[in-house]
Chains A and B, each alone.
Chain A
Amino acid sequence: MELVLTIAIGVLTGSGIWLLLRPRTFQVIIGLSLLSYAVNLFIFAMGRLAVDVAPVLEDGTGNSDPLPQALVLTAIVIGFATTALFLVVLLANRGFSGTDHVDGREPPP
């Protein structure tokens, strides 16, 4: 369980950073999305991993930490909104500059 989650976060972060550093705007936005998935999983893991436990207090059965789950929900919503906004800016930039390069002009060949 821990290993799977760790590898997932690692792969997502690695791919995200790689894409974030690429010169095309679409790659940048996919990179940011992957990074935000990684961050969401990470927040979740900070509440400690537990299987088959509800995030509410019940007698005797133990509980998982509800706070990181609430934080993740907030982070997902905010991430979703900002990604959508970034997409709009990306398209506007494509319209103005006629290229999908992040600097708005193609590098000299």
Chain B
Amino acid sequence: MVNIAMPSQVMSMLEPFLVRALVGALLTSIIAATSGTFSVLRGLSFLVSGVAHAAFGGVALGIFLQEVIGVKWFHPLLGALLFAAIVAVGAGYAGEGGFTARMEAAIGVIFAFSMSLAVLIMFYLPAEKIPLIWGFLFGDILLLTNEDLFLLGAMTSLMIGFTIVFHREFTYIIFDPETAEAYGMRSRAYHYLLLVLSALAIAAATKAVGAILVYAVIVIPAATSALVGRSIPSIALRVFLIAICCQYLGLAASAVFQAAPSAVAGVLAALIYLIILLAKRRGQ
């Protein structure tokens, strides 16, 4: 049986943790509109999942270095960002010249390596630290800390800033990298820049919503919008709207029905994808 919260209870929930969740959802939606849109259009939706799971390995390494080796300055989040960057550079290297399939394979390799590393490391960690690692996979937007929000805000700002300045370059390397290079643009540099930025932003979002649901919140809205969009800006706007509506509805559901907000957001996003896909297939 579900607990229906009274309006007064809902009002009392407007506490710092809820404000952090609302801001976190907003920032994650912006990351979805930028990193998610570019990744899906590039045929690289696996990047999102790959980065999220590689970041999990990075967190494990960070905790291991802090707790077992004694490298106190190596924050687990630094490990997450480092591993995210490794996925991006590895995928970028494999895919130079526009080979998306090779990029997906490279992401798969680093994904498997990071997860294996995490499992190996867990064996050497004190038992009370293990939930910290799993927490990264099953992050909860209601448990965001100010530190998480700061990281998410920083990565979102980076992504917005670079996208505003280089949105044409990012579009050109997805659409026709060879011509861009032939006309004098440094396609290779933008290829890596987009991958690394996207990966860092996705790693920060993973900390907010968890590795599994980051896929739902970032990839599903982008995949849905790509079905119907007629230009990249219109796709990005739709991605943002779908991601934020799903997440806010998820938060509302969590307040009223005590359901996990990211899970509700994921189910809603998947339903929207299904409806749009069916509508499009019928229209063809």
Chain B associates with chain A = no
